[in-house]
Chains A and B, each alone.
Chain A
Amino acid sequence: MADTKRLYLTKVVLWIYSCFTLLILGYLVWNSFRSKQDVLTNTIGWPREFTFDSYAAVFRDDHFGTNILNSVFILAATLLITVILSSMVAYGLGRYKFKFKQGVMMYFLVGLMFPIQLGVVPVFLIIKNLDLINSPWSVILVLSAGLSMPVLLLTNFFSGLPEALAESARLEGAGEWRIFYRIMFPLASPVIVSLCIVLSVSVWNQFFLPLILLQDEAVKTIPLAVMKYTSNILLSMDKALATSVLATVPILLLFFLFSERIISGVASGSVKE
């Protein structure tokens, strides 16, 4: 549209915002290759030397390698369980007619209204009784139980599929379960991809639950490990820089590579509500 040419002020603001983000990330990466002394005493001066020491240190002296694996494991397991359970529930709700169906649907939606903090004390006590404090499974179980949004999204999808698809398979003698995972589930893959993108962001950045459920250094996730270094900058500035780069840059590179796809996935995942 032609008249966007005149929005000088808006464009200036958008350029400043975008460049600020890029500059600060560049500054982060740049400083991570300097020694701690250099960064602390010579903040914007030209670096005296380039070194990979900070990176070596977080893997050698510390658990950061394990922290990365924990985060990856929690993300993968949570996505897998959530996708399997929510698509099954949604299929049951979307494809079959039965008594109390509306009630069950409402039951799954109720979860959207409750902030995680409300139930966190009982959750903590349950996890403690199961002896899962300091196990990644504590976070995985609690996060995978948040089925409300995925169920809502997928139920709408499954209930919109034509019955003829299932009917012809049924005539050929396929069982209900087979119809689900061989025919219906694959059809849902675009919705599931959007779902996984939205879930990944929230699981990967989850701070509150791991803070409460994972207390051993070796089982902490990336956000908690980064906090350990950033909370005492004078002591561990170098490690704070290195872990921040490792926590941020690979993910952002992936995002920049697939940004169109990811943004449209997020958009379609949220609008279909």
Chain B
Amino acid sequence: MGSLIKNKPYLWFILPGFILYSIFIIYPIFSAAELSLFHSNGFGSKTFVGLENYRELFTNPELKRQFFNALKNNLILVVLNVGLLIPIQLYFAYVIYTRVKGYRFFQTMIFAPQFITTSVIVFLATLVFDQNIGIFNELLVKIGLGDHVRNWLGVPGYELVTLFLINAWAGVGFSMIYFVAAMKMLSDEVMEASYLDGAGYWRRFFLIIIPQIRASIVNIAVISYIAAMTTFDFSYLLGGTSGGIGNKMDVMTLFFYRITFGTNGAMGGSVSSNSVGMGTTIACVMFAIIFLVALLQLKLSYRKEDH
């Protein structure tokens, strides 16, 4: 052993982290793939069933409906986050980068909700937009618009928009800071040259800044795609384990949680005899979808970089 320490010191640096990482990050991935081939609830015996769980997920009408409903909701959130929120974050970042008056204050205020935990964020939304105790409804009554009083957190047909808006208010700051940092790394000469050329505020944004931080934008797009595909907290906090009335706020992670840990939370309530088998099956399908699209996104962007 003594010579091993002398000759291969790196082993002793790497080993402790390697073991912990292997047990709790790498092993569970393979174990999940394996468990998805069994009929099992994690206790007692498990039976090998091959791909039966996958077949059941896509043929059982109720499971299939819930899965595709959740997937659809995730995809809508992806479109809203990547198509709407990222452009806003980019623009805010540019405004802060160009040091609009009060930019330090704006930057701090926009980043602040990062430090508010999700359960408090949902509670704050309740304080403002709830049917009975929300101040928004009270204000509507005070200014004579009492007819419009309603539960703003669950307007039929707009459940996902609510989910997105709460998420946007709380999450706009993180990627914005990332974009500001990316813009600050651009060389001053390019900016000054374009400034002297007479390129206007908007021209510089679209023709100089955006093309130069394209790699950062793709990076954030992939991260926010993954985040929107795996979102859980807001759906769970607003809609409970069912994801709201008629599963309107349901997402894949919540569907997974419901099947694996039952409707009354972990360990309690109604858990099926195949909770672990079906739960890991959903997790694997979810991962396959996320991984393929993320890979495609990265590949497409790198091809563009080459030209």
Contacts and interface: CB of A to CB of B under 8 A. Distances in A.
Is B one of A's binding partners?
A: yes
Given A121-B279, A207-B119, A115 B287 contact: yes
Interface stretch (A47-55, A56-64, A243-251): A243-251
Contacts of B169: 17
Contacts of A165: none
Nearest to A45: B138
A44 B9 contact: no
A259 B91 CA distance: 21
B123 A118 contact: no
B25 A248 contact: no
Interface string A13-40: 0100110011011011001000000011
Nearest to B95: A10
B23 A14 contact: no
A141 B28 CA distance: 14
A121 B116 contact: no
Interface string B284-307: 101100110010000000000000
Contacts of B110: 14, 17-18
Given A96-B9, A121-B283, A1 B99 contact: yes
B105 A117 contact: no
A205 B117 contact: yes
Nearest to B122: A230
Contacts of B109: 17-18, 21-22
Given A118-B287, A205-B117, A255-B115, A271 B185 contact: yes
* Range, interface on chain A: 35 or more
Contacts of A107: 26
Interface in B103-124: 104-120, 122-124
B167 interface: no
Contacts of B14: 88-89, 92-93, 104
Contacts of A213: 266
Contacts of A196: none
Contact of B26 (A4, A7, A110, A201): A110
Interface stretch (B47-55, B60-68, B75-83, B173-181): B173-181
Nearest to A5: B101
Contact of B17 (A6, A89, A180): A89
Task: Say whether chain B's binding surface is mostly helix, strand, loop, or mixed.
Answer: helix
A187 interface: no
A200 to B, nearest CB: 9
Interface in B244-285: 253, 256, 260-261, 265-267, 276, 279-280, 283-284
Interface in B1-60: 8-14, 16-18, 20-21, 23-29, 31-32, 35, 42
Contacts of B104: 260
**B111, B127, B284 — which one has the most chain A CB atoms within 10 A of its CB?**
B127
Interface string B68-90: 00000000000000000000000
A76 B291 CA distance: 32
Nearest to A144: B20
A185 B294 CA distance: 35
Given A3-B200, A88-B14, A145-B23, A122 B118 contact: no
A136 interface: no
A111 B133 contact: no
Interface stretch (B147-155, B156-164, B230-238): B230-238
B128 interface: yes
B165 to A, nearest CB: 12
A88 B24 contact: no
Given A17-B109, A85-B17, A141-B24, 15 more contacts: A3-B200, A10-B91, A96-B13, A111-B25, A117-B230, A118-B283, A122-B28, A125-B42, A147-B20, A177-B9, A204-B117, A247-B116, A248-B115, A259-B111, A267-B177
7 contacts: A43-B134, A89-B18, A147-B20, A151-B17, A230-B120, A268-B181, A270-B177
